Amino acid sequence: MERKLLPLLRDSNLTLIIGAFDPLSARLVQEAGYSAVWGSGFCVSARYGLPDANIIGPDTMIQEYCKMAEAIEIPILADCDTGYGDFHNVIHTVKRLEFHDVAGFCIEDKKFPKLNSFIKSKNNSLDSIEAFTSKIKAAVDSRKSEEFCVIARTEALNNNEPIERIVQRLDEYKLAGADAILIHCNKNTTDELFHLIRLWGNKIPIILVPTTFPHVEFSEFQSYGISNIIVANQLLRAGIFHMKSYLNNLSCAKNIEEGSTDISTLSDVFALQNMQEYETTDTLYRQPHV
């Protein structure tokens, strides 16, 4: 399978990048036939039962993304918040991710520590253009290969910056060396978002995360030249929903069988664990007892 991300980002065909939160969910994305994984900081934080607010240390987050990369053969894009600090932290993060074959990382133009964009807080104030572009330049300069993607994410729409100022940000991020721009919008309507895209054009690939406007059809995004869509947290939410449903059903059941309808088989789990490969290796190398 192809582990490079940049060709996907530059392709005009629709690419759904699916949010995962551990090696198992990443492998499910691959098994379902999708082309790329979004290593979601929000979802990893939720898995630990903690807010998405830079509470989990960067070493832990980076390790989680590296574990996902080791479990799959498709590219993974790591959500690295603000880069976990200044440009020194960004350099360290790039080196570790690239060493473990993570295909790229995304950093956002908020100040550290950040808070999830759907929570209104002073912690979501924006970094200056100069400070953020220094992070982008540091990432570009410290990567060993141009195949490692540096994605600049702007939260300016969510902070109600003037549209001209946002265009300036995107121009500066591109000039600093970003391979693509992720425009995050937590509003239910897309008028302002599409206006920004029309103004700026598609100077480099644009990525969208339609969490708050899931009703917009993919074809409409493509009409604006947008072919890269991150389905950021739906897999986690689907898992939570179905685990809750299972637990509720089990509490009313007479036995485990009655409460365990519509669940995966053990064979499904074994397949995700690569048990067939394990058994083949075991047969090949296991020494007979003397």
Strand partners, 17: 36, 230
Q: How far is residue 160's CA from residue 74's CA, in Å, rounded to a whole number?
A: 36
- Using an 8 Å Cβ cutoff, are 227 and 11 in contact? yes
By annotation, the residues acting in catalysis are 52
- CA dihedral 69→71→75→79, nearest 10 degrees, is -40
- Which residues, at least 6 apart from 184, have a Cβ–Cβ distance to it below 8 Å? 108, 117, 153, 154, 155, 157, 158, 209
Token pair in block for residue 8: 């996907």
Contact 65, 78 (CB under 8 A): yes
Query: Closest Cα to residue 89, out of 139, 149, 147, 152?
Result: 139
* Cβ burial 84-101 (10 Å sphere, 16+ → b, else e): bbebebbbbbbebbbebe
Give the ranges where the chain is alpha helix by DSSP (H). 6-10, 23-31, 41-47, 58-71, 87-99, 129-142, 163-176, 191-200, 218-223, 234-251, 256-259, 266-272, 275-285
Indicate the DSSP class of residue 94.
Answer: H
How many other C-beta atoms can be found within 10 angstroms of the C-beta atom of residue 230? 23
HSE toward the beta carbon, residue 92, CA cutoff 13 A: 12
Encoded tokens for 151: 């994605």
